[in-house]
């Protein structure tokens, strides 16, 4: 009896959650048609959604499985390159690979397949380095993965493999988000999709990660995070599950890397520095280790603050205050660092902790406020009587 009621309640909450997500997508779609394309909002939405995917993939590893890995930039690099290499149209190859005689590869694959290939390549590399690396724990694992990411960065600029990677030169002219806009015969855009597409790709990937976390595999990951020895004693194969989490996380980091390449319209190995990994780690920690919605909020807040809201601090005027003497290049970073410190001080476990933002939580919050008011009224009544 109770069980049936519980199940029905759960179904309603799932529907409400789905509706909330759908509403966000619809809002993005409408905003894109109505607002001018040059608005900073779209920079934030595009880059934010890509970072959200990468942050969630990192959270799967660091927050849910308890593996402190810092290889994210390396896997993004692989994803970006695989995407670029296999999607540059043939007619542009001669100009892109100008120092390598048009390059070695002379075919292209559809964008969706290229995205999957980007993820798969990153996953295969993760499976290879997982064998030695995942035997390490905590800090040592972090150092080893960081090392592999740096090696990749150097390797991809190596001249010998230039016919494939274009050495230290840019890869460009591959399809980007603007190519998703639907144009009429005169070349005028009739339907803007350049922001919705990264939203949909990131959304689908994050949904897959959430489903994994909620499955019995996800439970095993969290058991490993909480207590490795107890997990092993329960029959959870430690190495197999760590490897699985590592490979899946890398897959989505690879897809994220490909999306980032589409956003930036050019790929160069040198850009995938460890600083990029730290940015994502910062998002994960500030959003909350072990919270998917936390990582998503964290990404959009981080990108909005660094790319948009605090820009004025670098260029003279901020919030209507004109002070070119103080608000000079670099001041933004100072303020940003202070904000981050304040957030960490007030939210010790990140903005969301390890809980999720969902319909259930909102409902509970409302119920609590309502109950409190009710009990207060009753208390007042009893005093009056």
Give the DSSP H or E segment for 321. Answer: strand 321-322
The minimum distance between CB 353 and another protein, in angstroms, equals 11
Residues comprising the chain, all counted: 385
Contact call for residues 307 and 43 (beta carbons, < 8 A)? yes
DSSP state of 174: S
Q: Which is nearer to another protein, 237 or 315 (CB)?
A: 237
CB nearer to another protein: give 240 or 333.
240
Q: Least distance (Å) from another protein to the CB of residue 216?
A: 7
Q: Are 78 and 257 in contact (CB under 8 A)?
A: yes
* Minimal distance, residue 212 CB to another protein, in Å: 15
- Of 119, 117, 108, 235, nearest to 174 by C-alpha is 108
Minimum distance, C-beta of residue 365 to another protein, in the bound complex (Å): 17
Nearer to another protein, 121 or 352 (CB): 352
DSSP structural state of residue 170 = P
Which CB, 52 or 231, lies closer to another protein? 231
Question: Which one-letter DSSP state was computed for residue 172?
Answer: E
Please give the residue ranges that form the binding site for another protein (CB under 8 A). 216, 219-220, 222-223, 225-227, 229-237, 290, 354
Own/partner contacts of 22-28, CB < 8 Å, gap of 24 or more, are: 25/196, 25/199, 25/200, 25/203, 28/195, 28/196, 28/199
Complex with another protein: residue 238 or 362, whichever CB lies closer = 238
Quote the least distance from Cβ 286 to another protein, whole Å: 19
Encoding tokens for residue 151? 């090696």
Q: Which is nearer to another protein, 30 or 230 (CB)?
A: 230
Nearest approach, Cβ of residue 236 and another protein (Å): 6
User: How far is Cα 243 from Cα 4, in angstroms, rounded to an integer?
Assistant: 38
């Amino acid at each position: 009896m109770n069980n049936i009621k519980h199940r029905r309640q759960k179904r309603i909450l799932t529907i409400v959650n789905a509706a909330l997500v759908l509403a966000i997508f619809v809002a993005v779609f409408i905003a894109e048609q109505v607002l001018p394309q040059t608005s900073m909002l779209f920079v934030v939405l595009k880059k934010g959604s890509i970072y959200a995917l990468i942050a969630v993939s990192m959270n799967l590893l660091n927050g849910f499985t308890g593996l402190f890995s810092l290889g994210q930039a390396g896997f993004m690099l692989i994803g970006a390159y695989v995407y670029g290499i296999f999607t540059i149209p043939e007619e542009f190859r001669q100009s892109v690979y100008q120092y390598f005689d048009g390059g070695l590869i002379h075919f292209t694959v559809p964008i969706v397949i290229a995205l999957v290939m980007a993820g798969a390549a990153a996953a295969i590399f993760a499976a290879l380095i997982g064998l030695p690396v995942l035997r390490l724990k905590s800090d040592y694992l972090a150092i080893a993965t960081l090392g592999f990411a740096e090696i990749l960065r150097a390797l991809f600029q190596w001249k010998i493999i230039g016919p494939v990677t274009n050495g230290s030169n840019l890869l460009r002219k591959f399809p980007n988000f603007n190519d998703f806009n639907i144009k009429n015969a005169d070349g005028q855009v009739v339907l803007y999709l350049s922001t919705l597409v990264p939203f949909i790709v990131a959304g689908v990937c994050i949904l897959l990660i959430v489903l994994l976390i909620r499955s019995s595999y996800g439970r095993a990951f969290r058991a490993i995070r909480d207590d490795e020895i107890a997990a092993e004693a329960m029959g959870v194969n430690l190495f197999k599950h760590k490897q699985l989490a590592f490979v899946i996380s890398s897959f989505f980091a690879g897809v994220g890397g490909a999306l980032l390449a589409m956003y930036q319209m050019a790929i160069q190995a040198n850009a995938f520095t460890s600083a990029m990994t730290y940015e994502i780690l910062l998002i994960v920690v500030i959003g909350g280790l072990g919270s998917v919605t936390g990582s998503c909020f964290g990404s959009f807040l981080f990108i909005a603050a660094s790319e948009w809201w605090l820009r004025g601090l670098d260029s003279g005027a901020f919030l209507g205050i004109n002070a070119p003497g103080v608000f000079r290049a670099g001041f933004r970073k100072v303020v940003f660092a202070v904000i981050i410190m304040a957030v960490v001080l007030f939210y010790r476990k990140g903005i969301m902790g390890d809980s999720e933002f969902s319909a259930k939580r909102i409902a509970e919050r409302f119920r609590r406020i309502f109950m409190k008011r009710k009990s207060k009224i009753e208390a007042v009544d009893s005093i009056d009587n």
